[in-house]
Structure 1
């Protein structure tokens, strides 16, 4: 929920948290301060994280009020990284987290947590987000440590030279163990995409890893990088992802889509590779439908 208000002459020189309380009396001052601290407040179009900042007459104050469960502060330690060298690091993004800042959230994002880790290494620049995972998707996220590394991996992604492997638990049984979907994708609603013409070309390779009771564990290898590509291609073939209610999937604790691995070559030719284990909810859904947990150790 987004709240907007304008400071009148009576709020000139008043602290931001006090002024916001007067503009939005339905919120407590402690909640307002929390929103400000988490990067959820903008004053005249600029994010402000200092509650004591003084307002000016005419300032537009905008607050992004998120559900309490979205406020999850966390940080990465060295032991939690999937991969690290002098140029790159990889983390296992949890389902339910935003991978990067939004206009109304800075803390509690993967980007912010990685920025905090980089500071412990003496790297003062913010984390560079060079690829994204949907909020409901878990798994490998790669971050470059330098501008040169960022330019290299960005070029590799653009040219399709980064191998990406996803796992998905889908409803239904694929008719084949191996298949490909080559179908254009276009935006069909404000937060929804679909196979449509005209659209951007999209190709995904699929194979069955295991079959369960009315479901299958599927590996997906997207050869292009369209928004919601795997989700849309699976739904298009009648195999919606469990938990992906946007595209017809059944309710579940989370969307059962996981970026299992990413691999590419560094500028010097070395292999950079990261593999992410699945979380408890993903494993539990597999077990519930009779998919052998051994399938998750491949």
Structure 2
């Protein structure tokens, strides 16, 4: 939920937190300060993270109110990285985290944590989000460490030259061991996408890894990078991902979609790859269906 209000002449000169308390009486001052600290406050479309900032008449204040459980501090150190060299780093994004900042949140996102890590190295480069994972998806995310690296990997992603491998758990057994979905994807509403015309070209290859008791672990290779692509293509095949309520998946503690591996070639011809182990929640849901994934990990 985003709340908006303009600063009147009577509130001009007040501190941001005090003025916001007057404008949004449904929020406590503690809640307002948390929103400001976590990057959910803008004044006239500019991010403001200082509660004592003085208000001026006509300022448009926007506050993004998010659930308290999203306020999770995340940091990355060298020991947390899946890969790092002079041009790139890769992290294992946890399920439940936003890949990049939203109108509600800056702090507690992967983008912010990577930005802080780069600053700890003495870098003045920002964290550039050149690809995203949905909030409920875990796994490999690559970040370029400078502009030339960003330009290169962005080009590779656009041309489909970055290999991406996902694991997904679905509550059924596919009719085939291997198949490819070549079907356009279009936005249906604010939260859902679907196979529809007109839509953007989308192609995904699927392979059964193993079947358990009423569920199947599937490997997905997306050749294009459409929003919700794997989720939509599996649901289109009558195989919604377990935990993906948006597309009809059975209830689970998390959405059972994990970016297992990403690989590409650098500008210098170096082969770059990162592989992310699934978290314990993913492993446990697999166990619940009689699937032990350790045998499929290096």
Residues 26-105 of structure 1 aligned to structure 2 (within 5 Å): 26-105=26-105
Q: Give the C-alpha shift of residue 191 in structure 1.
A: 1.2
State the match for 1:171 in structure 2: 171
Query: What RMSD, in angstroms, separates the aligned Cα atoms of the two structures?
Result: 0.9
State the match for 2:133 in structure 1: 133
> Is the contact between residue 209 and residue 295 of structure 1 (CA under 8 Å) also seen in structure 2?
no
Q: Give the C-alpha shift of residue 26 in structure 1.
A: 1.9
User: Partner of 2:205: helix, strand, or coil?
Assistant: strand
> Is the contact between residue 182 and residue 202 of structure 1 (CA under 8 Å) also seen in structure 2?
yes
User: Partner of 1:113: helix, strand, or coil?
Assistant: helix
- Cα distance in 1 for partners of 2:242, 2:182 equals 22
> Is the contact between residue 244 and residue 256 of structure 2 (CA under 8 Å) also seen in structure 1?
yes
- Cα distance in 1 for partners of 2:108, 2:124 equals 19
User: Partner of 1:155: helix, strand, or coil?
Assistant: helix
- Cα distance in 1 for partners of 2:267, 2:251 equals 43
- Cα distance in 1 for partners of 2:17, 2:120 equals 31
Q: Which moved more, 1:25-34 or 1:106-115?
A: 25-34
State the match for 1:118 in structure 2: 118
State the match for 1:197 in structure 2: 197
State the match for 2:6 in structure 1: 6
State the match for 2:281 in structure 1: 281
Residues 158-237 of structure 1 aligned to structure 2 (within 5 Å): 158-237=158-237
- Cα distance in 1 for partners of 2:168, 2:19 equals 47
- Cα distance in 2 for partners of 1:226, 1:295 equals 31
Structure 2 gaps, min length 5 = none
State the match for 2:24 in structure 1: 24
Q: Give the C-alpha shift of residue 295 in structure 1.
A: 4.0
Structure 1 gaps, min length 5 = none
> Is the contact between residue 210 and residue 295 of structure 1 (CA under 8 Å) also seen in structure 2?
no
TM-score by length of 2: 0.98
State the match for 1:239 in structure 2: 239
Q: Which moved more, 1:252-261 or 1:57-66?
A: 57-66
User: Partner of 1:153: helix, strand, or coil?
Assistant: helix
> Is the contact between residue 202 and residue 224 of structure 1 (CA under 8 Å) also seen in structure 2?
yes
User: Partner of 1:167: helix, strand, or coil?
Assistant: strand
User: Partner of 2:10: helix, strand, or coil?
Assistant: helix
Q: Which moved more, 1:14-23 or 1:189-198?
A: 189-198
> Is the contact between residue 283 and residue 292 of structure 2 (CA under 8 Å) also seen in structure 1?
no
Q: How many residues align?
A: 298
Q: Give the C-alpha shift of residue 294 in structure 1.
A: 2.9
TM-score by length of 1: 0.98
What do residues 137-185 of structure 1 show as CA deviations (whole Å, max 9, x unaligned)?
A: 0000000001000011011111111000000001110111111111111
Q: Which moved more, 1:119-128 or 1:244-253?
A: 119-128
> Is the contact between residue 144 and residue 150 of structure 1 (CA under 8 Å) also seen in structure 2?
yes
